[in-house]
Amino acid sequence: MSGQLSTEEVAHIARLARLEITEEESATYAGQLSAILEHVDAVRRLDTAGVPPTSHAFELRNVLRADEPRPCLERDEVLAGAPRAEDGRFLVPRILGEEP
């Protein structure tokens, strides 16, 4: 892995990220992302044997709330920002993919 991204890889990433990009953009991003990856490549070469990863700044545990209801939003507020709504629901165009 040289950290060099092909335009095909960029197109694949863009599909995963649900970003429609042109071929031209694909080429631009391939160059820019490769440059960034090259820069951060130093990180990959660091010896981190035996070092645990950190995903959270602090080691909090068991942060829980009581199973008690709180008020919901009014439906008008819920749908206020909707690009399209019908019958109290959000309207989307035809779905091609299956739910995983």
DSSP state letters, 11-61: HHHHHHTT----HHHHHHHHHHHHHHHHHHHHHHHS--TTPPP-SSSS---
Report the residue from 6, 19, 23, 27 that binds other proteins according to the rule CB under 8 A. Answer: 19
Let me know: does 5 contact 32? Beta carbons within 8 Å: no
Q: Does 27 bind other proteins (CB under 8 A)?
A: no
Least Å distance between CB 32 and other proteins?
Answer: 6
**Residues 29-68 contacting other proteins, CB under 8 A:** 29, 32-33, 35-37, 39-44, 46, 48, 51-68
86 binds other proteins (CB under 8 A): yes
**Residue 74: enclosing H or E segment and its boundaries?**
none
Minimum distance, C-beta of residue 64 to other proteins, in the bound complex (Å): 4
Kindly state whether residue 24 participates in binding other proteins, applying the rule CB under 8 A: no
CA distance 2 to 41: 9
CB of 23 to other proteins, least distance (A): 13
CB of 56 to other proteins, least distance (A): 6
CB atoms within 10 A of CB 30: 19
